[in-house]
A and B are shown apart, each in its own frame.
Chain A
């Protein structure tokens, strides 16, 4: 038997770069699962989310923090949330979430499917408003708001996790194109 071992690679190869006042950094290693709510199971799901993750179920477009480390429940659509959390081993994302939620949700692993990029620093919105079709004003998109949208023809989930900080998630298969689009937008507003 061969003794070769495989090394795990992250979607953006641990990318990180500061351009002007904006910092781009890959966020890797977090567990991400989708939790779909069974028909007529809203009450049971809200209770399970409170018990298992210490989080209030967010409405579509909102997010909630929870008791586990780095937990963020993202309200993506009427019958589904995404749950971002720290798992001891990301391969255990689904067993961990399934144990926490029981039969109150259908849980699917999303951890390795998305490239996660944090974009932060003053002027972050100036760079984002050139590629993001959403209104990111403090009144329209305050801290904690989340949305699925499209940037440069690529699907993106965007979460505002600080006054000048956004978490962007885009499919892993087009992660490099996505990084290029975001990087270029920051360069375009950062002067010569």
Chain B
């Protein structure tokens, strides 16, 4: 499997480490009223789609960047690759 890194171009999947669902970058606010409930969902509740899935990959043997990869779990086709930093910034995060 080849992941087309936004900065470095196509790289072998062996250079990457998989983490999991991309929603992990949206950590809940621990001061919210229902923080316990939110953290329960954040940690344990996942969709398990047969089709497009957004997931986090770490380029460990590369430029050490976190990527948000949109992958089809049925065909392994990689539809989109973004820097997790850009995704977080677009969600209004400071860094």
Contacts and interface: CB of A to CB of B under 8 A. Distances in A.
Nearest to A140: B9
Interface of A: 39, 59-61, 76-78, 80, 133-135, 140, 147-150, 155
19 contacts: A59-B7, A60-B7, A61-B8, A61-B63, A77-B63, A77-B65, A78-B7, A78-B63, A78-B65, A78-B85, A133-B14, A135-B10, A140-B9, A147-B8, A148-B61, A149-B11, A149-B61, A149-B62, A155-B61
A39 B63 CA distance: 17
Contacts of A147: 8, 62
B26 interface: no
A54 B8 CA distance: 25
Nearest to A155: B61
B80 interface: no
Given A60-B7, A61-B7, A78-B7, A148 B12 contact: no
A39 B15 CA distance: 26
B95 A39 contact: yes
Interface in B1-56: 7-12, 14-15
Interface string B56-85: 000001111100000000000000000001
Given A60-B63, A78-B63, A150-B15, 10 more contacts: A59-B7, A77-B65, A78-B65, A133-B11, A133-B12, A133-B14, A134-B11, A135-B10, A148-B62, A149-B61
A59 B8 CA distance: 10
Contacts of A135: 10
Contacts of A39: 95
B3 to A, nearest CB: 12
Contacts of A78: 7, 63, 65, 85
B12 to A, nearest CB: 4
Contacts of A77: 63-65
A59 B7 CA distance: 9
**A-B pairs, 3 with minimum CB distance:** A77-B63, A150-B61, A133-B12
A133 B15 contact: yes
Contacts of A150: 14-15, 61
A135 B11 CA distance: 9
B14 to A, nearest CB: 6
A141 to B, nearest CB: 10
A133 B5 CA distance: 14
A76 B65 CA distance: 10
A38 to B, nearest CB: 12
A69 B46 CA distance: 55
B60 to A, nearest CB: 9
